[in-house]
């Protein structure tokens, strides 16, 4: 099963790499300005959307503090990455790391992978930095960093919540089905 997943992930990654656009892929959104532009960005880019939902879904599969610390780490480190991206720093490989994050984080959620909490937070932090960096590079010159940042942080938290809710609902339905079969 793992090999099938890895083959499928490789096909998706290759297809995505071939058709990938640069980080400035959402020019219409930038016209909104401020908070709305920041909020809209993760909702309109398939790569960001998939990762944000996957983080919530993966967090829902953890116990205890992992359920909130993994998404909270993602949002916090994404904010740091956004500030650095807005500084004008140029960093190669940002889009490649975002693509890798889609494969890895969706894979972790789909495979119900568990790991020590600190390692899970580190994985979330690594990819969050690159997502934040890409968001930060897209802040229009006429927009304040704080308002744009609060927008993309809010949308990210909502998408994490969506993934978390789907994950918890799935667990509840699975438990009911097992109980009904008894």
Domain limits of the chain?
32-181
Phi and psi at residue 65, in whole multiples of 5°? -65, -25
Q: At 13, is the pLDDT very low, low, confident or very high (cuts 50, 70, 90)?
A: very low
Residues present in the chain in total: 182
**What is the C-alpha to C-alpha distance for residues 138 and 12, in angstroms, rounded to an integer?**
25
Q: Which residues contact residue 70 at a Cβ distance below 8 angstroms, ignoring those fewer than 6 apart?
A: 55, 58, 59, 62, 117, 120, 121, 124
21-49 average pLDDT score: 69
First-to-last alpha carbon distance for the chain, in angstroms, is 28
pLDDT number for residue 17: 39
Place of tokens 């071939």: 18
Residue 154: count of CB within 10 angstroms of its CB:
15
161-173 average pLDDT score: 92
Q: Which residues contact residue 20 at a Cβ distance below 8 angstroms, ignoring those fewer than 6 apart?
A: 95, 99
pLDDT digits (tens, 9 = 90+) for 110-161: 999 989 999 999 999 999 999 999 989 988 777 888 899 999 999 999 999 9
* Inter-residue contact 40 to 151 (CB < 8 Å): yes
Residue 135: count of CB within 10 angstroms of its CB:
30
CA 120 remoteness from chain centre: 14
pLDDT digits (tens, 9 = 90+) for 60-94: 999 899 999 999 999 999 999 999 999 999 999 99
Q: What is the mean pLDDT of the chain?
A: 83
Q: At 37, is the pLDDT very low, low, confident or very high (cuts 50, 70, 90)?
A: confident
- Whole-model pTM: value is 0.79
108: left (phi over 0), alpha (psi -120 to 50) or beta: alpha
* Inter-residue contact 101 to 48 (CB < 8 Å): no
Indicate the SS3 state at residue 114.
coil
């Amino acid at each position: 099963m793992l090999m099938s997943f890895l083959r499928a992930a490789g096909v998706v990654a290759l297809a995505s790499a071939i058709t990938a656009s640069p980080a400035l892929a959402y020019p219409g959104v930038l016209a909104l300005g401020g908070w709305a532009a920041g909020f809209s960005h993760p909702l309109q880019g398939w790569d960001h959307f998939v990762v944000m939902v996957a983080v919530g879904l993966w967090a829902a599969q953890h116990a205890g503090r992992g359920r909130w610390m993994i998404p909270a780490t993602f949002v916090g480190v994404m904010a740091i990455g956004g500030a650095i991206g807005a500084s004008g720093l140029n960093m190669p490989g940002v889009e490649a790391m975002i693509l890798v994050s889609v494969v890895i984080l969706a894979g972790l959620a789909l495979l119900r992978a568990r790991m020590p909490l600190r390692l899970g937070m580190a994985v979330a932090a690594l990819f969050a930095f690159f997502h934040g960096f890409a968001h930060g590079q897209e802040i229009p010159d006429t927009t304040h960093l704080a308002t744009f940042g609060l927008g993309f942080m809010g949308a990210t938290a909502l998408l994490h919540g969506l993934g978390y809710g789907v994950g918890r609902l799935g667990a509840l339905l699975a438990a009911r089905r097992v109980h009904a079969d008894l």
